[in-house]
Amino acid sequence: MTRKYVCTALVCALLLGAIVIPPIFADSSNSNARNEETEFSEVIEAEEIVSEKELAARELPAPEPAETVVKMIERRLWVVPEPVTELIEVLPQDYEQIKEENERLLEEIKLLNAKNESLVADNQKLKSEYERLKKEYLQITAEAEAAADTKNAEFIPSEEHLVKCAEEFPVATQVWCYLSETMGLNDYVCAGIIGNMMTECGGHTLDLHWYSGSVEYGYYGLCQWSLKYRPWLTDASLEDQLIHLNESLEIAFTTYGKRYKEGFTYADFCALSSASDAAVAFAAAYERCTSTSYERRGQQAEFAYSYFVPSSTN
């Protein structure tokens, strides 16, 4: 009887959950469950690996049709990024602006091309004018040289040994004769003056260009007189230049002789017995140039002296 009641109580307790299963049974049950889960996941992973390998070996599927993509967009399965949407909206406006700017630049290019053509035409006109003026200048120069040669051809030295000099350097010979015969200067002083003229209008030679210089240049003649202070010498003939030299030489030494030596006078200049000294004195008092050219002028004076006075031993 007692055993009957005990069994009945145990069954009731089990049904009502009053009796707890011992831990040993619970741990064993959980362990079995975990083992089964691990085995299941390993099987799944193995299947996934196999599936990826098989998938890699297969050919890629064909792209979805356009209708499908449109439907995907409509269903919000694939949303167009916002920046791209903005670019698509703004692009037509930017295109119009670029088109207008391009048209504006084309108009500017047309204007620049027109200006360039005008400048080319003006350049051609200036070039033609330059050629015309150049031709006139050469013609005037040739006429002046021809006139000078004509006048010089009329000059005949009084001394026989100067005839040959006149054939080679007619202007220098005519100046030499004027200085010595008309002005009465000695050979050293004549050579000193001509030595300066060789620098002023002869290119350091006895080939004196008495007509060199112009109003634009500001200087003219044998001594390259300043036309600012002597405008009456503009285009003066050789004879007129020599007359002016004769009239102004003594005045220059009276006023500026001290530039050569203190108290130096025109009489002192006329009494010099050295061509180089006469050249330096003339350069200092009459030409009033820089002293850097004194030596060169003195050497040219010595050359002129030996040329016009061949028997000299100076």
Let me know: does 182 contact 176? Beta carbons within 8 Å. no
Return the closest-CA partner of residue 277 out of 181, 195, 192: 192
What pLDDT band is residue 246 in, cutting at 50, 70 and 90?
A: very high
Pairing of the two strands 225-226 and 213-214: unpaired
Residues facing 225 on adjacent strands: 220
Retrieve residue 34's tokens: 């975990």
**Which pLDDT value is given to residue 7?**
54
Cα distance between residue 223 and residue 231, in whole Å: 14
The answer to whether residue 186 scores a pLDDT higher than 90 is: yes
Let me know: does 179 contact 193? Beta carbons within 8 Å. yes
Return the closest-CA partner of residue 196 out of 314, 301, 274: 301
Retrieve residue 22's tokens: 């011992």
**Which pLDDT value is given to residue 141?**
72
**Which pLDDT value is given to residue 20?**
46
**Which pLDDT value is given to residue 161?**
80
Q: How would you classify residue 58: left for phi > 0, otherwise alpha for psi between -120 and 50, otherwise beta? A: beta
CATH fold, domain 158-308, is Lysozyme (1.10.530)
Query: Helix crossing, 238-256 with 170-177: angle to 10°?
Result: 50
Residues 215-231 pLDDT 10s:
778 899 999 999 999 99
Cα distance between residue 283 and residue 230, in whole Å: 18
* Burial 32-49, CB ≥16 within 10 A → b, else e: eeeeeeeeeeeeeeeeee
Once rounded to an integer, what is the mean pLDDT over residues 60-67? 56
CA distances from 37 to 33, 34, 42, 44, 128 (A): 6, 5, 9, 11, 107
Choice among 5-9, 23-27, 148-152, 238-242 with the minimum mean pLDDT? 23-27
Greater model confidence, 114 or 281: 281
Retrieve residue 143's tokens: 């006429």
Residues 20-56 pLDDT 10s:
445 444 444 455 555 555 555 554 555 555 455 555 5
Residues 133-160 pLDDT 10s:
888 878 877 776 666 555 544 556 667 7
Q: How many CB atoms lie within 10 A of CB 118?
A: 10
What pLDDT band is residue 97 in, cutting at 50, 70 and 90?
A: confident
Residues 275-306 pLDDT 10s:
999 999 999 999 999 999 999 999 999 999 99
What pLDDT band is residue 18 in, cutting at 50, 70 and 90?
A: very low
